[in-house]
Amino acid sequence: MRRLWVSLLTVLAYGLAQMLPGFILRSHLLGHMSQIETAKFMIFTQVSLFILAAIIIILINLKVKNPTTLEAGRKEPKRYIIPWALLGFCLVMVYQVIISLIYFTIMGSQQTSPNTERLMAIAKKMPIFIILISIVGPILEEFVFRKVFFGELYNAIKANRVVSFLIASIVSSLVFALAHNDMKFIPMYFGMGMIFSLAYVFTKRIAVPIGIHMLQNGTVVLMQVFGGEALKKAQEHANFILHFILN
């Protein structure tokens, strides 16, 4: 398949997986189901559609006949995928700590993303949603925002590699941040997008940013869903320490 069609189908599959549950809900096809039954059905539908979209996207991307110059370049050996993913994960965590310190300095307290809180609330009530957050979501987002948006921009810009990277990563990371619909936390998502883009352009393997993204989301899930009380106490201690340091 030609890359253009694969890229368009990748975005289309992702978009449909995002929007179809909403269309089903508004169409009143669910009849007189209770609110709880409707919520459960919608979560199962969302997870199923995301899994189906991920399978389709992976399969069609394996059929690309004319890869981008980035994808056609010399890739890092497969044995280095996990080490690079771990390194990228560490960078993301360090970046998040720095941003959290900045938010604390400005706001005076630890800030939590409403988007993250909403997803974690769903995951606590329906653990199957963890699959979407930790595994399937990162796969879809990296194919769309890194392989398609970043990759196509990087390929289209006829400049030296640094300029191409900066323009493509800034644009794709901004779109990635805005897509999370959490305006106050745009700097957080934007920086993560830049790190994911850097990992992709350096290794030329989409599996690396996917791995970083999975590790990051998985860590959030573990901390929020399975260690809520411990996390709350840790945040209280962190607030005390930060207040002591910054005042």
Residue 141 annotated among the catalytic residues of the structure: yes
- 3-state helix, strand, coil split of the chain in percent (to 5) is 80, 0, 20
Structure tokens at 67: 């890869």
* Locus of tokens 């619909």: 181
**Which structure tokens are listed for 97?**
């700590």
| Identified catalytic residue from 37, 76, 141, 152 | 141
Residue 38: exposure state from Cβ atoms within 10 A (0-12, 13-18, ≥19): middle
Buried-state track 197-226, b at ≥16 Cβ within 10 A, e below 16: bbbbbebbbbbbbbbbbbbbbbebbeebbe
Token digits for 185? Answer: 């936390």
CA–CA dist 192, 70 (Å, integer): 20
As to burial, measured by CB atoms within 10 angstroms (0-12 exposed, 13-18 middle, 19+ buried), residue 26 is: exposed
How many of the other CB atoms lie within 10 Å of CB of 183?
9
What's the CA gap between 128 and 119, in Å, rounded? Answer: 12
Q: What residues are annotated to the active site? A: 141
